Structures are given as structure tokens and as C-alpha cells.
């Protein structure tokens, strides 16, 4: 059997396995590590239905709690951040003023620790998991050290008004290009921490994603790449293309290049399949420029990309909570910090 034929047989096998595992639940995330400290993280948010998103400016000094009852974790935000909310009940994406970015992606295999409300275990609602990290840490290393202590458990529940139980994993990246993935598997926190962990999608668990990607590295991406919407295939494409695009510190080239990668891994709007009910169209995308502290948002229903330059934001404790409403496809374009309006912070979803 020729080498090319062996590659083809193995490729077909892995495509079949991807189909069998139904790995098509929402989202892709990838980090670009360019020259001279050029670090850029992009993600897509894929969802079967509408998932309204707004941008928020959150200053330092905000008092928060974990929203799971009397044993909720309590803290005061050390750093300001710009976040993307989902339904205005959770922080699902964002970057803080120190250049630490985080992304929540769906992971159907997630199983969180047992938690009884108002008992003796400290807890944090999954809607606040990302926000807790952005509020408290400047680097991936700081977050890994702190979360590894497991001083509280992450608590999940159904998305309000639905029968969907929220199962997500968390990715972090920072100005040094460091990366970490946090997953709850069988009730245990699993942390994957390495600069090389630049790509993440959904199922399977991250350890198995790495194994699949190792196989595909033996097949030249210029010859063949998996092209379906399934998570394992998107992982392979993102891993290949993020290293194939130009290595440059020119943001006029680097930012569009990273956008092109995340768009390549997106799912066309309106795609559906009766035999694959979990297939999800891309609803929006973000790109975080860690070095220059600029946060970009791209709504697929709006032809314009908006962005926020952190140098134009007052993150001090005297700063105001501000919101840029985008959930109704409002039309903004370019640097949009001036359009944010003073608004009371939304209530994070938790336990009733």
C-alpha cells in the first residue's frame, strides 16, 4: 500500500470517527503567536438558535459573588475588562486590562462536582467562571496556580428558560502567548497548561483533541485537511492555518490573517441537518489583540466589525459600567468605545 493511500485510509477513518462522535457542538478558539510579542486570540460562537450578545466595559472595584447561595465565593474585581455577554446573563468571552483573554466553549462531556446549595462547600456559578478569572488574574500562570488549589467548585445549571444544561470548558491566553484549558471531567478539574495549546474546539475532551491533531500533523495540510463542520475537523484546520498565515508584527496584516482563520473554521449561517440536530451556525466572532489591547467583535448578521481600544477606556474604580448594545443587530463600525452607554450591570445566572 502506498504512503498516500495509507494517509487516505486513515483520513477516512478519522472523519468517520468524528461523525460517529457527533462532534458538532459550538465554537472554535485559536491563538496566534507572532514575532515581537504579537499575540492574538480569536474565537467563534456557534449556536443552533439566536444567542444575543452585547459588549460591556467593567471597571475595577466591582463587588461580586458566585450566585449559588450563602456559600458563594465573594470578591472585588482587581482588573477592569471588556467582555461579550450571552443573553446578558453570563460572560462568555473577553479580555482584561492586563491582556489576559478568556473564552467559554461548549463541552458536552463536562461533569461538574456535586454541590448542595447553602451547605459548606464554596461555589461559583458557571456564568461567572470567566469573569472571576478576568477580575482576579493578570496572566495564565497566575490563574492556573490559583484555580489548581480548588478553593471553590464551579456550579452549573440549566440555561434560564430552556432545558439545556450548561456544559462548558474555559480557555485562557495572555500577552506572553501562554495558554491553558480548564475542563471538569467526571467531577474533577483537569488543567492543560502549555504555550503550545493554541487551539481548542468542543468535543472530544482536550486530551483527545490533541491526539487527533497529532495524527493530522503527519499529513501535509497543503495536500488534505478535513473540511466538515465537526469540532475535531475544525480543530485540525485551525491548528494548521494559524501556523500557515504570515508571521508578522504588522497588525494590519496579522489581525485580518487571524480573522481569516477563525472564519475558515466558522459554520455558514443557516446550516442545519435533520439527522444532526446539534449542528450550529456561527453567530459571532471575537479577536483579542493582547499586545495592543484591542478587542474586536464580528456579528455575522452585520457587515461591520467593531472594536474597542483599551487606551480609550477608564478602567479605574471611578469608571462606569458601560454597554454597547449589539443584540438587536445595531449598526456600529470601527473603534466604538464612544458609543458605549452607562448601564447597570446585568445579573449573572445562578442558582435560584
Active site residues: 27
Q: In angstroms, what CA-CA distances link 316 with 12, 142, 321? A: 54, 22, 11
Residues recorded for the chain: 352
Cα maximum dimension of the chain: 70
For 293, how many CA atoms within 13 A lie in the half-sphere containing its CB? 15
- How many other C-beta atoms are found inside a 10 Å radius of the C-beta of residue 265? 29
Q: Which residues pair with 91 in a beta bridge?
A: 85
Question: What are the strands of the beta sheet with 28-33, ordered from one edge?
Answer: 199-200, 28-33, 39-47, 281-289, 294-299, 305-309, 334-335
Q: Which residues pair with 83 in a beta bridge?
A: 56, 94
In whole angstroms, what is the distance from residue 167 CA to residue 274 CA? 23
DSSP code of residue 9: H
In whole angstroms, what is the distance from residue 200 CA to residue 25 CA? 12
DSSP string, 154-169: EE--BPTTSSPBP-EE
Q: In angstroms, what CA-CA distances link 65 with 76, 131, 182, 272, 332? A: 9, 11, 21, 39, 33
- How many other C-beta atoms are found inside a 10 Å radius of the C-beta of residue 311? 9
DSSP string, 224-236: ----SSSHHHHHH
**φ, ψ at 36 (rounded to 5°):** 55, 40
Nine-digit cell string for 66: 458566585
Q: In angstroms, what CA-CA distances link 213 with 25, 67, 149? A: 18, 38, 30
Amino acid at each position: 500500500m502506498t504512503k498516500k493511500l495509507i494517509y487516505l485510509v486513515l483520513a477516512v477513518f478519522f472523519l468517520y470517527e468524528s461523525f460517529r462522535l457527533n462532534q458538532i457542538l459550538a465554537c472554535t478558539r485559536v491563538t496566534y503567536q507572532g514575532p515581537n510579542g504579537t499575540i492574538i486570540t480569536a474565537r467563534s460562537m456557534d449556536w443552533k438558535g439566536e444567542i444575543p450578545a452585547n459588549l460591556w466595559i467593567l471597571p475595577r472595584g466591582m463587588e461580586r459573588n458566585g450566585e449559588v447561595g450563602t456559600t458563594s465565593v465573594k470578591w472585588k474585581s482587581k482588573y477592569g475588562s471588556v467582555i461579550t455577554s450571552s443573553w446578558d446573563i453570563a460572560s462568555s468571552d473577553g479580555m482584561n486590562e492586563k491582556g489576559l483573554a478568556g473564552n467559554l466553549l461548549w463541552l458536552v462531556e463536562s461533569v461538574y462536582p456535586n454541590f448542595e446549595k447553602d451547605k459548606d462547600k464554596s461555589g461559583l456559578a458557571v456564568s461567572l467562571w470567566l469573569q472571576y478569572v478576568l477580575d482576579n488574574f493578570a496572566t495564565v500562570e497566575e490563574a492556573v496556580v490559583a484555580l489548581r488549589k480548588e478553593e471553590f467548585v464551579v456550579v452549573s445549571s440549566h440555561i434560564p428558560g430552556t432545558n439545556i444544561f450548561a456544559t462548558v470548558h474555559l480557555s485562557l491566553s495572555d500577552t506572553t502567548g501562554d495558554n491553558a484549558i480548564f475542563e471538569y471531567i467526571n467531577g474533577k478539574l483537569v488543567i492543560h497548561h502549555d504555550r503550545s495549546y493554541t487551539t481548542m474546539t468542543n468535543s472530544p475532551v482536550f486530551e483527545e483533541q490533541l491526539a487527533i491533531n497529532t495524527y493530522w500533523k503527519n499529513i501535509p495540510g497543503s495536500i488534505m485537511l478535513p473540511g466538515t463542520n465537526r469540532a475535531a475537523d475544525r480543530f485540525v484546520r485551525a491548528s494548521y492555518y494559524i501556523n500557515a498565515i504570515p508571521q508578522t508584527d504588522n497588525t494590519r496584516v496579522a489581525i485580518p490573517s487571524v480573522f481569516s482563520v477563525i472564519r475558515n473554521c466558522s459554520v455558514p449561517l443557516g446550516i442545519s441537518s435533520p439527522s444532526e440536530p446539534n449542528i450550529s451556525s456561527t453567530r459571532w466572532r471575537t479577536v483579542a489583540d493582547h499586545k495592543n489591547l484591542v478587542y474586536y467583535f464580528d456579528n455575522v448578521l452585520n457587515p461591520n466589525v467593531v472594536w474597542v481600544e483599551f487606551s480609550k477606556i477608564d478602567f479605574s474604580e471611578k469608571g462606569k459600567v458601560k454597554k454597547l448594545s449589539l443584540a438587536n443587530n445595531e449598526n456600529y463600525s470601527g473603534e466604538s468605545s464612544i458609543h458605549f452607554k452607562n448601564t447597570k450591570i446585568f445579573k449573572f445566572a445562578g442558582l435560584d
